[in-house]
Structures are given as C-alpha cells and as structure tokens.
Chain A
Amino acid sequence: MALRPQRLHQLAGTTLQSSAKRQRTMSTESYMKDAFGKYAHYLNELNDKRERVVKASRDITINSKKVIFQVHRISKYNKEEVLEKAEKDLAAVMGQYMSRLVKELQGTDFWKLRRAYSPGVVQEYVEAATLCKFCKTGTLLKLDEINSTLLPLSDPSLEPLQINVLDYLLGLADLTGELMRLAIGRISDGELEFAENICRFVRDIYRELTLLVPDMDDSSEMKTKMDTMLQSVVKIENACFSVHVRGSEYIPLLGSSDPSYYLLGAPDIEL
C-alpha cells in the first residue's frame, strides 16, 4: 500500500535529507523551491489522475444510464431481445470504460479517489447491472459476481479494482428507484405478477439494508437514500394495491366469459 507516499520518498529523500546541512550555503528560498517543486509535481499527478478518473466515471454513468433506459423499453412481447441488447451494452460499458478506470486506479487509489469514481461506478453501473440481472432471472446480482467480472480487466500483477461493499449498497439503494418505475410500467402493461415480484424483491432489499445502514461508513448519504427507497417501496405497494382493488372491477367486465357477471356489473361503469 501507500504507493504515493512511497513514490514521494524516492523523489524527496535524496535532496531533502541534506537540507539541514545546506541551509548555510543555500538561501532559504531555494531549498523551499526544491521541495515545493516536488510537492507540485505530486499534486499535479494526483489531480490529473483524478480528472481522468472522473472522466472515465462519467462515461460509465452515461452509458449505464442508457442501459437502464433500454431495460425500461421492456414489454410483454419483446422481453428477450430488449434484455439481450441491454446486456450487450452493459458488457460494452465494462469493456470500454470500466477498463479505463481500472487502469487508473491502483493500490491506495481505490479509497483515495473513491469520491471521484464512486458516483459513476456505484450509482449507475451497479444499478444497471443489477437491474438487468433482476429482469432476466428475478434474482439479485451479487457483489462477488460483479467483482469477478472486473477481475479480467486488471493487470494481473497489480491489486485488482474491486467494488467495495459500501458502493455496492449505495447502488442497490438506487436500484429500487428504477425498479419502482419498472413496476409501474409493468402494471400499466398488464404484467401484474411481474410487478408483484418486483414489489417483493424491493421489500427484501429494503429490509436487509435497514439492518446495515447504521454500520456504514458514511451513513448520512445512505440515510437519505433509505428515505427515497421507502417511498419507492410504498409507491409500488400502492400501485399493486390499486390494481388489485380497482383492477378487479374491470378484468371480468372486459375479459370475462361469464355473461351474467357482465350484465350485473355493467350499470356500474359510466365512462
């Protein structure tokens, strides 16, 4: 660990150790200039790297968003092809942009620059990947699974980039917002059971996260996410509820083959 401090040692060690001796011969100005030249170099490198990471992260965000939109194009009839395309796009995000990020981040950079890449990788990529997986299989994409797809991107001699638990959980919290949209869309499309499945799934996630929030490093961010998440859960539940209650009035009226029921129910609708 501590690649950077170490690097500076190499840079600074030779010239600076003798600074005490040199104070007689050198003006204070130049010994400071020497040292600060090195600090400037370090800061420049760090900032450049941070910028590159932010850029890569932003690309991941944009393209993961596209994947999410693609998933929302799902309907009863085109499920397979929509998801296939989404998965292909997701793989492209991984191959093109994530690999760029992975190249930048090594060792201590994971945590040092976390703020720079966390929003892109976390909020969007984890979200897109878990959303795809859920639509396909109805299960939660696990952190280990995501991380195993990251492994091949890294240089085997270096410590590989792995998404950490905190980022994964933040991504999951965002996922529920997308699932809420998906559920509402499915309901209006008549896929009630799919919506109910989403509902159950989201509740499970919410419940599990409730237990974890107090332990998280930076729990204030997560707490606001939990509030939004609860709103999403409630929205889905209300939507399911409404369809059960009100939908039950219509399904038989329009689709039932029972004529007597049709007649009895008919006077009630005045659309």
Chain B
Amino acid sequence: MKSAFRNAYFTLSRSLNPNPSPNFPFSLHTISAIPLFHSRIFRPLSTATPPPPPPPPPPYSSMADGAAHALPPSSSLEKQFEDFRHQLDESGSLRERIRAVAMEIESATRLMHANLLLVHQSRPIPEVLEKAKVQIEVLKELYSQLVEVLRECQGHYYRYHGDWRSETQTVVSLLAFMHWLETGILLMHNEAEEKLGLNTSEFGLDIEDYLIGVCFMSNELPRYVVNQVTAGDYDCPRKVLKFLTDLHAAFRMLNLRNDFLRKKFDGMKYDLRRVEEVYYDVKIRGLAVNGDSKEDQGIPGQS
C-alpha cells in the first residue's frame, strides 16, 4: 500500500503531463471500477475544480489525524481576516491623508526653492529671503496638520515615515541654505525643528533626515559660489570654502552605515572640490580680497 503511494508520488512529480504514461494504461476495468470503489475519494475533487473555491465543508468528517476541524477554523479564520481588512483599510486611509499633506508640503517647498533660486541671479539676499520666508509659515502650518494626523496613531511615526521623508529632507535643505545665507552658520537640528514648529516630543525631525537635508544644501553651494564670483563677489569663495570644509570635517565624525546618507556624504567632497577650484581660480588671478579684513563679518555674499 505504501509503495503504491510512492509510485503515485513519482508519477505525480511528472503529473503536469496529463497523458497517462504508457506503463499505466487505463483499462476499461479500472475506469469502470473507480466510481464503484472510490466515489468517496472523487467527490472532493469535483468540488475543487472551480478556481476560487469557497471554503468547502468537509466531505468526510473523520480524519486520520488530529487535523480534523475543518469547518470551525474556516469561520474563525474568516473573522480574523475580516479584522485585518478593517485595520488595513484604516491604515490605508490614514496614509492617504498623510500623502495629501506631504504633497502640499512638496508644492510649498517648490515655491520656496523657486524663490531661493534668485540668489544665483545676484538679487540682494534680504529680498530673496523675505520672499522665501513666506513659505516657512505655510510649511509650519502643514507640519502641524501632519502632527495632527499622526496623533491618531501614537507610536507609528516610523511606519509612515517614508511618506514625508524625502519632502522633509528637501525642506531641511532649503531652511539650512536660507539660514546660511542669513547668518553664515549651519542650521542646527533643534533650530530646524523650531522653524517647523516641531518642538513637541511626539513628532520630532529625524536626525538622519536632517543630515541628508544638510547634504542637499551643500550641493547648492558650488553653483552659488560660481555665480557670486561672476557677479563680482570675490570674497565669497573663501567663506564658502571655510564653511564647507568645516561641515565636511564635522560629517566625518559620524560613523555612517552604507545607506543613503553615506552616499550623500560621499557626494559632498565633490562640492568641496568644486568650491576649492573656484577659490583657486580667483586667488591665483589676484582677485581675492587680500588679508582677513572681512573675516569676522561672517556673512557671505554681502559685498
């Protein structure tokens, strides 16, 4: 009996081939014998043929082993999955609301970015900043909405984190750039949180997002330097170079994993090199302002 099953098993490994193997032709006898002797076994097969079978009631109730209760588990199983569906529906709609806010954040940052781009056209910095700062208030409002939405699911900050992550990184990069234009120093993590009204302990700015945002900001600097020099500000490269060197040195204190932040940090050295080149070009031609007369001013780009 056992070996018969084994034979059956070996044939079933080829079972996708529906042709009966020549070794085992169906004889008239066996075919006619099947319904007689095995109608019991065939019954479940016929219920199985429609592709999405409803949980069928067991055609026979006695089971050889303990796995006998086919019907009760089906209903309790359905109950559990029903609950899951509710839960997932809820988290899905929550996510949609988060996405909606994140998209508004994105469009606000785009406006802000467009305003900030005017610094490359040598517009006076205060004017540029004033326009861009309007958006900070908008962003603050949007982040408070986000906090509101997330208040509904305490502890799930990082579950939905991905939905506002890249937007927030851009926000940080723009804020940091503006802050640097204004003061010549780096925007700190807690200052960034403050600007966005995120001082609550329930919704913090993720440090990694902050650091990535700072890396994004550094990408903006080479272009700024080039355009400032073109516009006649020859002292700018020195200040930017100093800032970027310090920033790079500070980043080197971090033990980074092989992740996105690491990749962005690795890119920072190209910004640094570009700024060095500009500084070199200016210096070697004697264009750079001699001496450290403007050193303590600390405000870049105001010549």
Q: Which residues on A are within 8 Å of B, measured CB to CB? A: 1-2, 4-6, 8-9, 12-13, 16-17, 19-20, 23, 28-29, 31-33, 35-37, 39-40, 42-44, 47, 79, 107-108, 110-112, 114, 134-140, 142-144, 159, 165, 169, 184, 187-194, 196-201, 203-205, 207-209, 211-212, 215-217, 237-244, 246-256, 261, 264-265, 267-271
Asked if residues A215 and B89 are in contact (CB atoms below 8 Å), the reply is yes
In the complex, which residues of chain B have a beta carbon less than 8 angstroms from the beta carbon of A200? 55-56, 58, 70
- A236 to B78: give the CA distance in the assembly, Å: 22
Q: A215 with B88: in contact, given A6-B201, A36-B251 (CB under 8 Å)?
A: yes
Closest to A196 in B: B44
Asked if residues B73 and A138 are in contact (CB atoms below 8 Å), the reply is yes
Pick out which of these stretches binds chain A: B103-111, B112-120, B216-224, B242-250. B242-250
Asked if residues B15 and A23 are in contact (CB atoms below 8 Å), the reply is no
Of A108, A197, A240, which contacts B158 at CB under 8 A?
A108
In the complex, which residues of chain B have a beta carbon less than 8 angstroms from the beta carbon of A193? 60, 63-65
In the complex, which residues of chain B have a beta carbon less than 8 angstroms from the beta carbon of A136? 66
Asked if residues B38 and A191 are in contact (CB atoms below 8 Å), the reply is no
Asked if residues B246 and A140 are in contact (CB atoms below 8 Å), the reply is no
- Residue B203 lies at the interface, judged by CB distance under 8 Å to chain A: yes
In the complex, which residues of chain B have a beta carbon less than 8 angstroms from the beta carbon of A203? 53, 55
Asked if residues B207 and A8 are in contact (CB atoms below 8 Å), the reply is yes
Asked if residues A1 and B12 are in contact (CB atoms below 8 Å), the reply is no
Asked if residues A243 and B33 are in contact (CB atoms below 8 Å), the reply is no
Per the 8 Å Cβ criterion, residues 128-163 of B in contact with A are 154-159, 161
Quick one: which of B6, B88, B184, B206 has the most chain A CB within 10 A? B88
Asked if residues A2 and B201 are in contact (CB atoms below 8 Å), the reply is yes
In the complex, which residues of chain A have a beta carbon less than 8 angstroms from the beta carbon of B4? 247, 250-251, 253-255
Q: How far is the CB of A101 from chain B (nearest CB, A)?
A: 17
In the complex, which residues of chain B have a beta carbon less than 8 angstroms from the beta carbon of A244? 38, 41-42, 45
Asked if residues A188 and B6 are in contact (CB atoms below 8 Å), the reply is yes
Pick out which of these stretches binds chain A: B21-29, B170-178, B275-283, B284-292. B21-29
In the complex, which residues of chain B have a beta carbon less than 8 angstroms from the beta carbon of A241? 15, 45
- A9 to B95: give the CA distance in the assembly, Å: 27
- A254 to B3: give the CA distance in the assembly, Å: 9
Asked if residues B65 and A191 are in contact (CB atoms below 8 Å), the reply is yes
In the complex, which residues of chain A have a beta carbon less than 8 angstroms from the beta carbon of B65? 79, 191, 193-194
Q: How far is the CB of B164 from chain A (nearest CB, A)?
A: 14
Q: How far is the CB of A62 from chain B (nearest CB, A)?
A: 24
- Residue B8 lies at the interface, judged by CB distance under 8 Å to chain A: yes
Q: How far is the CB of A232 from chain B (nearest CB, A)?
A: 15
Closest to A26 in B: B185
Q: How far is the CB of A230 from chain B (nearest CB, A)?
A: 10
Q: A165 with B87: in contact, given A191-B65, A208-B77, A237-B48 (CB under 8 Å)?
A: yes
Asked if residues B16 and A238 are in contact (CB atoms below 8 Å), the reply is yes
B interface bracket (residues with beta carbon within 8 Å of A): 35 or more
- A255 to B72: give the CA distance in the assembly, Å: 34
- A248 to B56: give the CA distance in the assembly, Å: 23
- A146 to B3: give the CA distance in the assembly, Å: 40
Chain B 183-199 interface mask (CB, 8 Å, partner A; 1/0): 11110111100000000
- A211 to B95: give the CA distance in the assembly, Å: 19
In the complex, which residues of chain B have a beta carbon less than 8 angstroms from the beta carbon of A29? 246, 249
Asked if residues B5 and A8 are in contact (CB atoms below 8 Å), the reply is no
* Residues of A contacting B: mostly: helix
Q: A159 with B204: in contact, given A137-B66, A197-B63, A243-B5 (CB under 8 Å)?
A: no
Quick one: which of B154, B190, B203 has the most chain A CB within 10 A? B190
Quick one: which of B11, B158, B203 has the most chain A CB within 10 A? B158
Asked if residues B15 and A215 are in contact (CB atoms below 8 Å), the reply is no
Quick one: which of A47, A165, A249 has the most chain B CB within 10 A? A249
Q: How far is the CB of B149 from chain A (nearest CB, A)?
A: 14
In the complex, which residues of chain A have a beta carbon less than 8 angstroms from the beta carbon of B204? 2, 4-6, 8-9
In the complex, which residues of chain B have a beta carbon less than 8 angstroms from the beta carbon of A207? 52-53, 55
In the complex, which residues of chain B have a beta carbon less than 8 angstroms from the beta carbon of A198? 67
In the complex, which residues of chain B have a beta carbon less than 8 angstroms from the beta carbon of A112? 157-158, 161
- A116 to B211: give the CA distance in the assembly, Å: 22
Interface pairs (7), CB distance under 8 Å: A193-B63, A211-B81, A217-B91, A243-B5, A247-B4, A255-B4, A268-B24
- A249 to B34: give the CA distance in the assembly, Å: 8
Q: A265 with B27: in contact, given A16-B188, A194-B63, A248-B38 (CB under 8 Å)?
A: yes
In the complex, which residues of chain B have a beta carbon less than 8 angstroms from the beta carbon of A247? 4-5, 8
Q: How far is the CB of B184 from chain A (nearest CB, A)?
A: 8
Asked if residues B246 and A165 are in contact (CB atoms below 8 Å), the reply is no
- A5 to B29: give the CA distance in the assembly, Å: 78
Of A23, A40, A268, which contacts B25 at CB under 8 A?
A268
Asked if residues A217 and B159 are in contact (CB atoms below 8 Å), the reply is yes
In the complex, which residues of chain A have a beta carbon less than 8 angstroms from the beta carbon of B202? 1-2
- A9 to B56: give the CA distance in the assembly, Å: 58
